């Protein structure tokens, strides 16, 4: 199912949670709604599900205005951050709940419900655990039960609100891989809310980045990381060094030297140069900016060198292979230059 968001707005008193959002979710796509707390991502997800009502705009399911559809008629499977499982029901009954509350002709025979539960237990790799209760499961297992319950109603779209936020790092990584595989098997149109940039970039086909109720950028994980549309996105998606710069005779200069990389567009006057730590290279004196090392930190296969540029006294971080460990002691002088960079006007 495709979803089209047209000029959607929502206010809570004086607070604008969503401001004229326009977005298209493609059939079978896995889309991440990424942004800081208060950016509007959960509000947008709840409006799509029918749990909140917009003040203006429309949500279209396969071209049909969803305003006239009840929550049940939308057939959106919703997974909450903290699972929202029924503690007094076992795993099988939790999964079957959405099917058993149906009435009339929509109610399935009990044998069909049981068969669906067994199918889903296998799908989420919880075979044999149908008789356990939520308190007897790990956090990762409870999240799988919540996903199975959302899938039980045969939804047209799957909506997940911070699905891994309550789990530890290793379990989150494992479940991310599992969710991507599950999505590829089911082919369901899926939207998930997250404030974790790594999670969005690893899982999603495309990423919609919200900030202050507005959609700042929509694109593939590679596009939003490599071609940020605003200074906010540069700083929010990944890490970045921001340096003062100046346009002179059609070239951008920083630290008293022209930037030795191709940059999109030409500007005038003051600017800010944005360079990711992995794009800042140790170079020779002729092309590089002089700096002094203030710290270095080893993190697995990477070495993070923190330095201060001598001219502007701007702090920078340089990411290097761990084989350089010990090569840049505190106080050492080195030269760095960007292999790739972006810029935005100052102000």
pLDDT value for 22? 98
Specify the domain boundaries for CATH 3.40.50.300 within the chain. 3-233
Helix (H, G, I), strand (E, B) or coil at 29: coil
Give 164-204 pLDDT, tens digit per residue.
876 778 888 888 888 898 899 899 999 999 999 999 999 99
- Is the pTM of the predicted complex or chain greater than 0.75? yes
Specify the domain boundaries for CATH 2.40.50.140 within the chain. 239-345
pLDDT value for 166? 67
Two tokens, residue 15: 């607070």
For the domain bounded by 239-345, which CATH number is listed? 2.40.50.140
Helix (H, G, I), strand (E, B) or coil at 281: strand
pLDDT value for 191? 97
Residue 168 burial (10 A CB sphere; 0-12, 13-18, 19+): exposed
Phi-psi region of 172 (alpha: psi -120 to 50; beta: other; left: phi over 0): alpha
Give 24-77 pLDDT, tens digit per residue.
999 999 999 999 999 999 999 999 999 999 999 999 999 999 998 888 889 999
Fold of the domain built from segment(s) 3-233: Rossmann fold (3.40.50)
């Amino acid at each position: 199912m495709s979803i089209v968001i047209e000029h959607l707005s929502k206010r809570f008193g004086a607070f604008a949670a969503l401001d004229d959002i326009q977005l298209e979710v493609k059939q079978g796509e896995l889309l991440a709604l990424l942004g800081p707390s208060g950016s509007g991502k959960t509000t947008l997800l709840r409006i799509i599900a029918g749990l909140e009502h917009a003040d203006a705009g429309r949500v279209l399911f396969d071209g049909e205005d969803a305003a006239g559809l009840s929550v049940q008629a939308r057939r959106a499977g919703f997974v909450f951050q903290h699972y929202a499982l029924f503690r007094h029901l076992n795993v099988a009954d939790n999964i079957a709940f959405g099917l058993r509350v149906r009435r009339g002709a929509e109610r399935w025979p009990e044998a069909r419900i049981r068969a669906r539960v067994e199918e889903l237990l296998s799908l989420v790799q919880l075979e044999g655990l149908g008789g356990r209760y939520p308190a007897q499961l790990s956090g990762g297992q409870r999240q799988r039960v919540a996903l199975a319950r959302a899938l039980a109603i045969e939804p047209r779209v799957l909506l997940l609100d911070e699905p891994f936020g309550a789990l530890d790092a290793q379990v989150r990584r494992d479940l991310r891989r599992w969710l991507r595989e599950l999505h590829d098997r089911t082919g369901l149109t899926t939207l998930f809310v997250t404030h974790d940039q790594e999670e969005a970039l690893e899982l999603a086909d495309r990423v919609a980045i919200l900030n202050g109720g507005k959609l700042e950028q929509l694109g593939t994980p590679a596009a939003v990381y490599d071609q940020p549309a605003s200074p906010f996105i540069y700083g929010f998606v990944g890490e970045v060094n921001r340096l003062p710069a100046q346009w002179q005779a059609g070239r951008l200069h920083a630290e008293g030297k022209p930037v030795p990389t191709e940059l999109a567009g030409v500007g005038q006057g003051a600017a800010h140069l944005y360079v990711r730590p992995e794009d800042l290279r140790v170079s020779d004196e002729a092309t590089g900016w002089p700096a002094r090392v203030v710290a270095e930190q080893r993190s697995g296969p990477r070495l993070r060198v923190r330095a201060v540029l001598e001219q502007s006294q701007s702090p920078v971080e340089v990411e290097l292979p761990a084989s350089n460990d010990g090569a840049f002691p505190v106080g050492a002088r080195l030269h760095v230059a960007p292999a790739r960079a972006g810029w935005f006007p100052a102000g």
